[in-house]
Amino acid sequence: MFSKNSLNTLAVLLPLMITMIPSVPLVYAQGTGSEIAITPASNIGALTTSFSPVITLANVAQLTGYDVVINYNQTVLMANSVTAGDWCNAASCFTVVSDISQGTGTIEFSQVVLGGAVDITNSNLFSVSFTFQASGSTPLTISDVSLTGLVGGVVTLLPTPTIVNAEAHTPPAATAALIKWKARADFRTLNVTHDGDTQTLFGNAANTGLNPAYVMVEFVITSATGSVTIKDTPVVLIAVGGTAIASVSFGVPLISLHYYVEARLMVSGDGIHFNFSGSTKTFHYGVTYKV
């Protein structure tokens, strides 16, 4: 069953193809085992980040045009743009409809081949750029699809392909900050002769939000010679209103040098996707061999 919008689009598609193809009676083809899918099936990212799933079509012979409608939760996602894919290959394509309705969470995109048809094995019809604008999950649903093709030289309304939908998810919002002394080294001056060659860096963090926060501290260590090393603490879960110490230990190079450190607090709502919290602290330490 085709929606009113799709049938209206077909009413535009077919006259365009009629002008290019000698045989134009509209008939209905039998099943072809074709599939249309939104890939990847799972899209996960932090707030304000963007992603661009691709709508792919497989196993369609002599495709002359398509009309696809996609629905999404507009409170979670903002649709930015639609970009045509490479399904036309060397043929000439014409975009009939390219419409984003953010108010209803609806995207419609339609194209036709001018003066011919294309055999599809597995091709990209188009892609959509989305941005996560709120925490939550949403299905990405192909709610309507219409395909037209040539069957025996006749413009034909093809059967609806198997539809494979997708979903998008952004974790709960989480906030945290470095507090009190914020970050420091275990040894301000590490004397390898007396203390050994292991340095430990600490970060003192607090959950400043309304949800549990996963945190880790990224230490960017720059030596006096200009070399840069990054050390990350293990991930620590901080309950609402709680605090925690995150630390990482490592062996220092056996050479007398000064090191400058920037501690950057990374925060996540799911323990997987981390963002820089904006909370940072700079400090330094040295390595020596004094007896």
pLDDT, tens digit only, all 291 positions of the chain: 334 454 445 444 554 444 444 334 443 344 458 999 999 999 998 888 999 999 999 999 999 999 999 999 999 999 999 999 999 887 889 999 999 999 999 999 999 999 889 999 999 999 999 999 998 899 999 999 999 999 888 888 999 999 999 999 998 889 999 999 999 999 999 999 999 999 999 999 999 999 999 999 999 999 999 999 999 999 999 999 999 999 999 999 999 999 999 999 999 998 988 889 999 999 999 999 876
185 close to 57: Cβ distance less than 8 angstroms: no
Nearest C-alpha neighbor of 178 from the set 157, 159, 202: 202
Domains within the chain, CATH numbers bracketed: 4-170 (2.60.40.680), 176-288 (2.60.40.10)
| Tokens at 62, concatenated | 């002599």
170 close to 134: Cβ distance less than 8 angstroms: yes
**What is the pTM assigned to this prediction?**
0.65
220 close to 230: Cβ distance less than 8 angstroms: yes
Q: How far apart are CA 266 and CA 195, in angstroms?
A: 30
Q: How far apart are CA 58 and CA 288, in angstroms?
A: 65
Grouping H, G, I as helix, E, B as strand and the rest as coil, residue 5 is helix
CA distances, 208 to each of 31, 45, 68, 170, 265 (Å)? 57, 21, 44, 19, 13
User: How far from chain centre, in Å, is Cα 180?
Assistant: 36
